[in-house]
Amino acid sequence: MNDLADAIAIIGVYFALMAVLAVAVEAVVSWAKIPLPWLQGKPSPSDVLKEVSQWLPAENNGQKVRAQIAALNKALRQLGEIPIDPQEDVDLAEIVRRVGEATTRHIKNDRDRRAAIRVLAMGLGIGFAFLFQVDTLQLLAPVSAGLAEFWVDRFGLQGAHALGLIMSGVAASAGSSFWHDQSARLRQLKRAAETARQMGT
């Protein structure tokens, strides 16, 4: 049981370091969103229409259509699309079609934005890991010495160290909430191990 307790303690320290590294990454990513508006999330055209649905007239008249066009135009401008001319004779079917097209583009843009943030977070995580020398393989070596030795034999001491730093950076990019969740699970495991030890004595 002592070996298990030691392993849990080592993993707990590792999770804590990853959480701190992840907080640093998230702070820089949040700062980067200020000068780079593209990294900021935007509401979809469907969300914009839902947002204004409460003040749209109940009856299906010209005023409601104009209000829907105004709401859709707000979303279209954010996506860089050409807005609908309010003077055009546009029916609800055309509005629905434009919402569908704009929403499809919004989903693609949002997917690209999330991928860019992920890559940025990974790059920052690796940079912080190299800066602070947070080596995953070295930190977890007491738990699994064989794994660390495997990578040292394969890549050499410097190569394994670089790999450990990269692993730390990639792990940190998972986000602080992820590592806090893992820490909570580890605490549950620790309590279960302590309970099992007490029952065995």
Per-residue pLDDT tens, the chain, 201 aa: give them: 467 788 889 999 999 999 999 999 999 999 988 887 778 877 776 676 666 555 555 565 667 667 766 766 776 676 666 666 666 666 667 666 777 777 788 888 889 999 999 999 999 999 999 999 999 999 999 888 788 788 899 999 999 999 999 999 999 999 999 999 999 999 998 888 888 878 865
CA atoms of 96 and 49, how far apart (whole Å): 10
Q: How many domains are contained in the chain? A: 2
pTM value is: 0.76
Query: Among 96, 111, 126, where does a domain finish?
Result: 111
Same domain, 34 and 56: no
Helix boundaries (H) for 33-61: 45-52
Same domain, 149 and 191: yes
Choose among 94, 99, 91, 113: nearest CA to 47: 99
Cβ-proximal residues to 14 (8 Å cutoff; 6+ apart), any chain: 136, 139, 140
Same domain, 34 and 123: yes
* CA angle (92 as vertex; 89, 97 as ends), nearest 5: 100
